[in-house]
Structure 1
């Protein structure tokens, strides 16, 4: 059960994830099924009044437009596997690849975010799990090279329908995937320690299975088909597109099986206009505030006056969800009062994650006035992050021209000026009231305090995979 609005999936206003969708397993009595159906319809209609949807409409200048929301009843694509119902694969495909992890990847060939099971894990911002990222120009090229890293950034949970319990569930992959699963060899590989091996027999240790989709990409025409699909859609949309899909392997026992791709929806791809930007040569080290060498986008931000900084130590010292919720509300309040100012946000882990232990559980309505979200990893904060490209939250960032960037503090060549972030005055109390808990983890830094008469400039070079934030005099 999903929404269908006149304003959704439009050019520049995708409304991705703003309205709710619900799965109705339809496995109860006729009366139970009808009650579940009518409740889902009511909840979809009610979701058009949720705060994030209203803030999104306000920010896009659509408050006075007639929403005319309707409801779509859409069959769930997949097949029964024991007590469960799920597809062999699902995800979201893009006709343009905005984040390339290797220079050889062609931007114009597109990109796929692929998961086993229902595609909700591909489009939602899940901090503790990882879809398979596929560059359609080089489908077998992983973002990570070592087998240990590929395993670390593999899918650990699967979304599915439990037919016996009549519920949508999220379960550990190891609890569901068995050697009897017909499409197993195309979905997973065996971790042999130093390398990942293709599955050749049904006598495999389930605990060693790693979801990679390598054999699917090697032995089926999936990448070729998907590359053709997104090209054709882009041609007729007259714009780059993204499309949600499901995947079925036909006759998995064949040497080279055929596949069936079902398109669920399509919309214009949210993206930023390319901006030419150059990092100054011979940049003095004392002028650099932070840098990154991790899949940088292309663009530049000038005139940054404020930096909203959530310290990793302060964030992870919060002892309850109530304290973290207070922090999230404070970030949302700063986003409101700093409207009209040029500021960026820097903090530990994933911004917008649904898993608070992996980062800040904030929504679009909490950060839409910022110009960049900087995600810190390493040094006890958490593992290096795979790009969230393809999630609904990422769509919001692109539409609002908010640059996402990761800074790995374990990288010896990365700069992170701790004096700037920790020793400058905290202006938080000048903008909103805050207690000791908040001031211990949230800092509002005025760039001019660190070096009078200066502002920050952030330059990102996609082709070099490099980004640098540095001080510049105000008169330049």
Structure 2
């Protein structure tokens, strides 16, 4: 075998199967026509309704049929005329009106309704049936009072109705039963269905949640009954590629005559066509055993008292039912047993060589997977036969890779119930608990579904698109934790954040989750982020973005030390619900704190380890609406903020690169060397892998390192994302070269095509906005390798909630003289005419950013009074509001300015900071309908009549901040699509 040959088997793609589309034709209403005695047997002795219902329930089947019973042909006609009947069962009649007469009468009036005849096999009826035309009935069965036969009849007819569609749709398998003896197939079918339905319950455990398990049972093998040679051959020829096995009688009609060897002839023909398919001959004539075994057919003696057990054993061993038992080919003894797909994956390299060769050379693996409705893998392996590939170890690898790909495919877009037996490095998204996933959890699950629904995300070779491996602790876990530790009293008190956190850290999480957490640790080799996911957070109408905490813990070899850190992080996230900022936000949004419920998202941290620190090459925030379009950009094309390192840097308002995914060649910040050196990222965030311990702080960034870009350069993390400043020629060179100052420009991925980031961002925005039916904000992170391969992870998606107020004026036509404020770069949309108060920073030529922290606390004090009075105001000041870097702007948290309805960044001649966008702070600004103006009237970019405010008396004043009040309301007007915003002066002021 050449070295290239394995590659041809590695390049395969499995097509997923939707079990939702199977078994679409059902029998819901059954009409039974029976004489009073048989009706009594069914109703009182047989209790057919109850038995069938119980049978369906026990087997996990849905939609049990309902039964209507009548005694005469006239009553049957009335029911059929007034009710939608799916199946008519005619039972033994009386002396002058037997079952055949009733059935023929029904068929004459309702030819399209399936009709089945049940008849006792008395001597007289047997003799009469020789001359009966039975072709007008679907089936004739021998009725001896066994209600289990009714279930088999319903399933047999449903299988017939769905066979062609389900095979074409998903590759469902067929078991062909060839038997002309009415008495025998009436006895055999209940046994056969009992076994198959029990098997379907067993393989349903491969599903990831109860709903998927119920749907998965629709993929069970279908049973098809043929009663002569021609019918059997026609069915096999049509569905040869989907035949799981054949069970055939020996003596039945072939052509016009009954042929005593018809079964042998049928199996010979099929064996010529398919050397692997299991062929079972059953006969009451003992001499047929030697004939069957001579041709290596399996044999069952119809006279045997344990015939049913023999059939079950052969189906288990040869049709893939039950566990897969690997056997020694010489002794036929069991050497290994696997029960599930995951067990097969875990043990495929441990199976002895001889046993592996024995089973793959007979296609047993494919058949076992078929019987378990794992069609994509089975279909693929069916084609990798021993004839095509005579290499046992390569077969092992191919089977392993196929299972991995299948499990990954089935995990995507599904919220699985966490199962320690199934969750491993190939698992994807699972939930612990029965409550809600919370806002972030729902957003992640929906993102996962979007990725699955749009395979174009994964069309580029070497590019993986997914969400990180995730486990969600649902809200019911939070409820139990709060109640069992009696935490509500301290949580709802006025205690400090530190005191609340102290009590939460002392509380106990239930021990039953320890094994689940350890399983999660085993499944990932990355640090873990512990994110809040509250009911209110990221909801469609009032996003609570960034209000609660997100902690990160490093990957540790000591799993129990890691467990302690994880428990502390979960409890710290729970505590953050009750911090002062959270309570202030609740008040501002008219929510009640004790109605908040918290889920927690445990998620792999995207990135790579560089020594003692861990971070991704790229983090980003995408918004599908661009409120600051530049040049050829349009609002509808969206905007991205990109940064090196952890995404917390963007959320905290750090310096990022602003780019439109549709215009990656036009980046304003790198358009001039001076801008690139002054307006691009100089620092980044990384997780400190050395910070180990469970002494967590209120500040969720306590173990986050703030590093210089030069540190990332030493780590070798700037390939494809940096340009190099050449001081001799005063120019930027695209690429990270050894000599020179590195500028985080993302040139390799934006302009040089090293990684398809612009296209992936475009798809994420497009499909995300389509899915939510509104503008969205998406967080993502990337790992990019030196060979231009990489991973694009979608971390979070939330709606940008639009203001519903209508704006029908052209703001550009309003006279400047009427304006107190005018911005040509505004964020927000709508009209307000209720505000009379303005709070502004007394910035002048002597302004220094060193005072910004003090200004933040003064504004917090003023804001508190507005919250108490339930009033709002306009806030004006220099630089970026909410920046974590106080040199870039006033470092307010949202709670400090929660009563502001319009926030203005006003530039100064000696203090010019580019506007910020894309952080949690701005998500809250937009979702609450708060406007955001950027004005720089020193550059004649907008209007800010500060002189009018300075001339007004102050309601309150400090050294840095003034609060003034107009006698009549100001009118705020914002056009979000044109980025125009104005504040009109009251007409009498």
Regarding TM over 0.5, the answer is yes
Q: Match for residue 443 of structure 2?
A: none
Residues 307-338 of structure 1 show CA distances to partners (whole Å, capped at 9, x for unaligned) of 11121259957987985464133222243255
Q: Match for residue 53 of structure 1?
A: 582
SS in 2 for 1:23: strand
Q: Report the Cα offset of residue 223 of structure 1.
A: 0.8
Q: Distance in 2 between matches of 1:276 and 1:139?
A: 33
Q: Distance in 1 between matches of 2:913 and 2:964?
A: 25
Q: Match for residue 241 of structure 1?
A: 776
Q: Distance in 1 between matches of 2:969 and 2:812?
A: 15
Q: Match for residue 434 of structure 1?
A: none
8 Å contact from structure 1 (residues 101, 295) kept in 2: no
Number of residue equivalences: 444
Q: Match for residue 378 of structure 1?
A: 908
8 Å contact from structure 2 (residues 622, 641) kept in 1: yes
SS in 2 for 1:305: strand
Q: Match for residue 294 of structure 2?
A: none
Q: Match for residue 146 of structure 1?
A: 672
Q: Report the Cα offset of residue 224 of structure 1.
A: 0.8
8 Å contact from structure 1 (residues 353, 362) kept in 2: yes
Q: Distance in 2 between matches of 1:277 and 1:212?
A: 40
Q: Match for residue 445 of structure 1?
A: 964
Deviates most, 391-400 or 328-337: 328-337
Q: Report the Cα offset of residue 137 of structure 1.
A: 1.9
Q: Match for residue 723 of structure 2?
A: 189
Q: Report the Cα offset of residue 111 of structure 1.
A: 2.0
Q: TM-score, normalised by structure 2?
A: 0.42
| Distance change in 2, residues 1:238/1:196 (3 Å) | same
Q: Report the Cα offset of residue 225 of structure 1.
A: 1.5
SS in 2 for 1:46: helix
Query: Which one of 783, 792, 800 corresponds to residue 261 of structure 1?
Result: 792
Query: Which one of 136, 144, 159 corresponds to residue 661 of structure 2?
Result: 136
| Distance change in 2, residues 1:79/1:197 (3 Å) | same
Q: Distance in 2 between matches of 1:260 and 1:133?
A: 21
| Distance change in 2, residues 1:418/1:230 (3 Å) | closer
SS in 2 for 1:473: coil
SS in 2 for 1:371: strand
Q: Distance in 1 between matches of 2:757 and 2:581?
A: 36
SS in 2 for 1:336: helix
8 Å contact from structure 1 (residues 106, 137) kept in 2: no
Alignment of structure 1 residues 153-232 onto 2, 5 Å? 153-164=679-690, 167-178=703-714, 181=716, 184-192=718-726, 194-199=730-735, 202-205=737-740, 208-218=741-751, 219=753, 220-232=755-767
Residues 388-422 of structure 1 show CA distances to partners (whole Å, capped at 9, x for unaligned) of 32111101111211111122243135433332122
Residues 2-40 of structure 1 show CA distances to partners (whole Å, capped at 9, x for unaligned) of 122222221022211111011111347555433322221
Q: Report the Cα offset of residue 191 of structure 1.
A: 2.1
| Distance change in 2, residues 1:332/1:305 (3 Å) | closer
Q: Match for residue 312 of structure 1?
A: 843
| Distance change in 2, residues 1:350/1:259 (3 Å) | same
Residues 203-257 of structure 1 show CA distances to partners (whole Å, capped at 9, x for unaligned) of 322xx1100112211213211112112212222222322222111224x24xxx3
Deviates most, 271-280 or 37-46: 271-280
Q: Distance in 2 between matches of 1:333 and 1:241?
A: 31
Q: Distance in 1 between matches of 2:619 and 2:814?
A: 47
| Distance change in 2, residues 1:4/1:150 (3 Å) | same
Q: Report the Cα offset of residue 426 of structure 1.
A: 0.7
**Which structure is larger by alpha-carbon Rg, 1 or 2?**
2
Q: Match for residue 545 of structure 2?
A: 16
| Distance change in 2, residues 1:417/1:30 (3 Å) | same
8 Å contact from structure 2 (residues 878, 905) kept in 1: yes
Q: Distance in 2 between matches of 1:283 and 1:90?
A: 43
8 Å contact from structure 1 (residues 89, 247) kept in 2: yes
8 Å contact from structure 1 (residues 291, 415) kept in 2: yes
Are 1:78 and 2:614 counterparts? no
| Distance change in 2, residues 1:282/1:352 (3 Å) | closer
SS in 1 for 2:793: strand
What are the ranges of 5 or more consecutive residues in structure 2 without an aligned counterpart?
1-529, 693-702
**1 or 2, which has the higher helix percentage?**
2
Residues 416-439 of structure 1 show CA distances to partners (whole Å, capped at 9, x for unaligned) of 3332122211112xxxxxxxxx53
SS in 2 for 1:266: strand
| Distance change in 2, residues 1:98/1:406 (3 Å) | closer
8 Å contact from structure 1 (residues 338, 369) kept in 2: no
Are 1:362 and 2:897 counterparts? no
Q: Report the Cα offset of residue 197 of structure 1.
A: 1.6
Q: Distance in 2 between matches of 1:413 and 1:264?
A: 37
Task: Tell me: higher relative CO, structure 1 or 2? Use CA pairs within 8 A at least 6 residues apart.
Answer: 1
Q: Match for residue 456 of structure 1?
A: 970
SS in 2 for 1:177: helix
Residues 26-68 of structure 1 show CA distances to partners (whole Å, capped at 9, x for unaligned) of 3475554333222212211100001222232333333176322
Q: Match for residue 63 of structure 1?
A: 592
Q: Match for residue 983 of structure 2?
A: 469
Alignment of structure 1 residues 397-408 onto 2, 5 Å? 397-408=925-936
Q: Distance in 1 between matches of 2:809 and 2:713?
A: 47
Q: Distance in 2 between matches of 1:318 and 1:131?
A: 20
Alignment of structure 1 residues 279-428 onto 2, 5 Å? 279=811, 281=813, 283=815, 285=817, 287-294=818-825, 297-313=828-844, 323-324=854-855, 326-337=857-868, 339-340=870-871, 343-380=873-910, 382-386=911-915, 388-428=916-956
What are the ranges of 5 or more consecutive residues in structure 1 without an aligned counterpart?
429-437, 449-453
Q: TM-score, normalised by structure 1?
A: 0.83
8 Å contact from structure 2 (residues 821, 984) kept in 1: yes
Q: Match for residue 432 of structure 1?
A: none
Q: Report the Cα offset of residue 290 of structure 1.
A: 3.4
| Distance change in 2, residues 1:87/1:403 (3 Å) | same
